[in-house]
Structure 1
Amino acid sequence: MRFDEPVLLYGAGREAISTRQFLRQIQPDLAVFVTADTGSAAIDGTAFIPPREIEQAIGERRFGTIVKSPGVSRYKPIFTHAAKAGIAVTSNLNLWGAAYRKNRTVIAISGTKGKSTTATLVHLMLVRSGLDAGLAGNVGLAPLDIADKHAITVFELSSYQTADMAFVPDIAAITNLYPEHVDWHGSVERYFDDKLHLVDREGSFAVALGSAAAGNGRVARAVRDHRRLVRELTPQEAITIEGAVAHSRLRGEHNLDNALLAAKIALAAGATMGGVLAGIAAFRPLPHRLEEHRIGTLTIVDDSISTTPEATKAALAAYPGRRIALVAGGHEREQDYGELAGLLAMRGVTVLVTLPVTGARLAEAARKAAPDLSVSQCPDLEAAIATLASIRDRFDTIILSPGAPSYNQFKNFEERGTRFVELCRTQFGTNLA
């Protein structure tokens, strides 16, 4: 692989840094530029081009390739302008495909929710089966950082990455499909199409579907030929896996679904049943995904990764029999909270505190669906936790499961989850374990 013209990195986060290191390795003298719509764009060995000057730089042909970071929408008009000028637009993932795809088994896992847990489980199952497997993508390393280190590469991919994925995996998996990321994709329909680009293409690769995806007509059409589907688990295999999950740290029906899907994928890739069970036993909850903490008798659950109403419903279902204080709301993505509001009382929610912007709609819907529910609209997370501290006797569990992204108040879900735990530590005690 060689570039005949300079390269522009559009975005300056983890993947951009990874791409810069890769370019330095393969072509040390290559000129590399960087730009970013917001935040810092300081990457060693690059020259900065302000975003307002990119259109002019395209016209002057200052670079021949743009490597776009996942968070930058491929539907920005500047990329249409680049295409008309004959400038290629690619990604860290597609560069990995061009450099390292050959002679490697690739497992690519996507879906609206559950993809990180499923990919992590698949990796654990393969490794515990004695296979040489690595994990990359949204979870783990950036694609180019994993390079050619493993015979099997498991990728956890967002819709941002599947949208223009240029190579075909050996096994593609979809966990489920719900509306999300409308701001990036421009519409729900385009989000669905971009997500399902992982499976909706020519090729002889295998496909594995989670239970929710298997019952989705749009997914079924995208699979095209159902002879692609990996074999289903036998009844005995499913029972054995359910037993292993019951004794593991995987909580909730949705995580059982993730484990069953992971087992199908891993077995199709050569794992043993012993390795599958050992992988389940070795699993530890990922940060900010139903991550539990304790303060005396109070359970604190950080589910900040939750960015859809469906994820919040799954979080509540994972804690039957509890008196729950739910903290929800965040960045607006035009999602429907009506069904979630109707489920709150039956899922054990006794207190709802909401955050801007979507919290206003959830609060209104909750007041109509459950008039006896205590509902408070708060301006920020600090006020929400302070409100809960004033009514401590009404709950035994606090769950942060926003059902919305964090961007209006935090830079990412990790920052939101960390702040939530810190505030709970301050308000409810100092012995958080």
Structure 2
Amino acid sequence: MRFDTPVLLYGAGREALSTRAFLAAQQPDLKVFVTVDSGTADIPDTEQIDISDLPAAIAAKRFGLIVKSPGVSRYKPVFEAAREAGIPVTSNLNLWGAAYRHDRTVIAITGTKGKSTTATLVHLMLTRSGLDAGLAGNVGVAPLEIGDKHAIVVFELSSYQTSDMNFLADVAALTNLYPEHVDWHGSVERYYADKLHLVDRDGNFAVALGAAARGNALVAKAVRDHRRLLPDLTPEQNRVIENAVSHSRLRGAHNLDNALLAAQIALGTGGTLEGIVQGIAAFRPLPHRLEEHVFGGVTVVNDSISTTPEATKAALAAYPGRRIALIAGGHEREQDYAELAGLLAQRGVTVVATLPVTGERLAAAARKRAPGIDVFEVPHLEAALDALLDVREKFDTIILSPGAPSYNQFKNFEERGARFVELCRTRFQP
């Protein structure tokens, strides 16, 4: 692969670093620029273009290709200006497709929730079946970093990545579909279309659907030809997988659904039932996904990756019989908390502490639909834990499952989750 003109990296995260390494390996003398929406970009061997100077740089055609990081919305007006100037916009994933897609089996997994767990399980199941499989995307490594190292590549892909993915997977899988990421996509409808772009394509590829995706009319339309669907698991295979999950670290009905979908994908791409069972046994929960700790007799559950009400509902369902203090709320993405509020009491929630800004809506809905639950509206995570300390006798489990992103108070969900665990440690550890 050769580049005839300089390249601009828009964004400076993990994918941008792997893109820069790929370009250096392909063409050491290639001129590479970088721009970020704020701050400085620590990308080696690049020249930074200030974001305010980007329109002029596009007009002057200082570069001939833009490689956009996933977190940068493709709907920014600057990208339309670039296309009008004849400058294409691509991604780390699409560069991988151009360089390495040939002669590889590609499994691409997306969905509003559960995609990381499902992709991790598929990878474990395939490797335990003796197959040469790698894991990339939002878990594992960046696409260009995995390169041509494996015969099978399992990609965990966000809607940011599927929106302009320009090559086909051999197996395209969707776990579920709920409203999310409206700020990036501009509307729920466009989020759905960008997410479903993984399957709503012409071409010869198989499709696998999670339990929550199968009854969705939008998904059914996107699949087009239902002969694409992988064969269902047999009753015996279902029983074997359910038994394996019951003895594993996979907690909750939603994770059983993830395991069943992963098994269907693994069997459809050469995995064995024995390898599937071994993969389930080998699974370890990913950080910030129902990550458990115990401090001073209190079970502390870090589910900071939860950014939708559906994810919060799944987290609560994973702890039946507990008396739960829930901490929820965060960045505004037009989330609807009415249904979640109606489920709180039956899921064992006794106390709710809500965080700005969406916590205001959750608190109002909880007071209306679950009047027997203590509700605390607090300004930040520290205040939430202080409020819970005052009613310590009302719960045995604290779950941080915000049902919203973290950007209004934290850099990312990882920072939010780590802060939560540390605050619990200092307050509840004897």
With the shorter chain as reference, the TM-score category is over 0.9
What are the equivalent positions in structure 2 for 1:6-85 lying under 5 Å apart? Answer: 6-85=6-85
Q: CA deviation at 1:335?
A: 1.1
Q: How does 1:307-326 map to 2 (within 5 A)?
A: 307-326=307-326
Q: Which residues in structure 2 correspond to 1:249-288 (within 5 Å)?
A: 249-288=249-288
Q: Distance in 2 between matches of 1:238 and 1:28?
A: 52
CA distance in 1, matches of 2:190, 2:149: 34
Counterpart position of 2:337: 337
Q: Which runs of 5+ in 1 are unaligned?
A: none
2:390 corresponds to: 390
Q: Distance in 1 between matches of 2:250 and 2:16?
A: 33
Structure 1 distance, partners of 2:390, 2:44, is 49
Deviation at 1:39, TM superposition (A): 3.3
> How far does the alpha carbon of each residue in 1:307-334 deviate from its partner, in whole angstroms, 9 at most, with x for none?
0000000000000000000000000000
Letter of the 2:369 partner, please give it. Answer: A
What SS is found at the alignment partner of 1:118? helix
Query: For residue 179 of structure 2, what is the amino acid of its counterpart?
Result: P
CA distance in structure 2 between the aligned counterparts of 1:301 and 1:40, rounded to whole angstroms: 35
Residues paired across the two proteins, number: 430
CA-to-aligned-CA distance 1:105-147 (integer Å, 9 cap, x gap): 0000000000000000000000000000000000110000000
| Matched position secondary structure for 2:232 | coil
Write the distance in 1 (CA, Å) between the matches of 2:206 and 2:2.
Answer: 32
8 Å Cα contact 1:42-1:48 kept in structure 2: no
Residue type of the partner of 2:94? N
Secondary structure of 2:278's match? helix
Matched, 1:165 2:165: yes
**CA contact under 8 A between 1:323 and 1:350: conserved in structure 2?**
yes
Moved beyond 3 Å, runs of 4+: none
Which residue is 2:209 aligned to? 209
* Matched AA of 1:217: A
Aligned to 1:141: 141
Deviation at 1:296, TM superposition (A): 3.4
Give the Cα separation in 2 of the matches to 1:231 and 1:39: 49
Normalising by structure 1, we get a TM-score of: 0.99
Cα shift readout 1:222-278 (whole Å, capped 9, x = no counterpart): 000000000000011001100100000000000000000000000001000000000
Separation in 2 of the partners of 1:335 and 1:263? 31
- The residue type paired with residue 14 of structure 1 is R
Can you list the C-alpha shifts for 1:282-310, whole angstroms capped at 9, x where unaligned? Answer: 00000000000011321000000000000
The equivalent of 2:421 in structure 1 is 421
| Percent identical | 75
The CA distance in 2 between the partners of 1:395 and 1:158, in whole Å, is 35
Q: Give yes or no for contact 1:171–1:207 (8 Å, CA) kept in 2.
A: yes
Q: Which residue does the alignment assign to 2:87?
A: 87
Q: What's the CA shift string for 1:405-426, capped at 9, x where partnerless?
A: 0000001000000000000001
> Which residue identity lines up with residue 346 of structure 2 in the other structure?
M
* Cross-structure match for 2:233: 233
1:348 matched residue in structure 2: 348
How far the C-alpha of 1:42 sits from its partner, in A, is 2.0
Measured in 1, the distance between the counterparts of 2:372 and 2:316 equals 18
Alpha-carbon separation, structure 2, partners of 1:38 and 1:142: 23
CA distance in 2, matches of 1:118, 1:373: 34
State the SS of the aligned residue for 2:301: strand
| Counterpart for residue 113 of structure 1 | 113
Note if contact 1:14-1:142 (Cα within 8 Å) is conserved in structure 2: yes
8 Å CA contact retained: 2:296, 2:428: no
Alpha-carbon distance between aligned partners in 2 of 1:145 and 1:296, rounded to the nearest angstrom = 42
Distance 2:58 2:111 in 1: 34
**Which structure 2 residues correspond to residues 394-413 of structure 1 after superposition, within 5 A?**
394-413=394-413
State the match for 1:306 in structure 2: 306
Q: Which residue of 2 aligns with 1:381?
A: 381
State the Cα distance separating 1:40 from its structure 2 match. 2.8
Amino acid at match of 2:320: P
Residues 31-59 of structure 1, C-alpha deviations (whole Å, 9 max, x = no match): 00000002331211000000011100000
Equivalent position amino acid for 1:133 in 2: A
- Please say if residues 175 and 210 of structure 2, whose CA atoms lie closer than 8 Å, have aligned partners that are also in contact: yes
**1:386 CA drift (Å):** 1.1
| 2:190 counterpart letter in structure 1 | R
Q: Distance in 2 between matches of 1:381 and 1:335?
A: 20
More deviation, 244-253/288-297: 288-297
Question: Structure 1: which amino acid aligns with 2:172?
Answer: A
- Is 2:150 the counterpart of 1:189? no
- Rounded to whole Å, the distance in 2 between the matches of 1:6 and 1:380 is 45
The AA in structure 1 aligned to 2:196 is L
CA RMSD of aligned residues (A): 0.6
Whichever residue aligns with residue 246 of structure 1, its letter is S
Q: Is the 8 A contact 1:118 1:259 kept in 2?
A: yes
Match of 1:127 in 2: 127
User: Aligned letter for 1:285?
Assistant: P
SS of equivalent to 1:78: helix
**1:369-418 Cα deviation digits (max 9, x unpaired):** 01111000010001101111121111000000000000000010000000
Within a 5 Å distance, the mapping from 1:364-375 to structure 2 comes to 364-375=364-375
Deviation at 1:345, TM superposition (A): 0.6
Contact 1:79 1:89 in 2 (8 A): yes
Task: Between 153-162 and 38-47, report the one with greater CA deviation.
Answer: 38-47
Query: Matches of 2:423 and 2:415 in 1, distance apart?
Result: 12
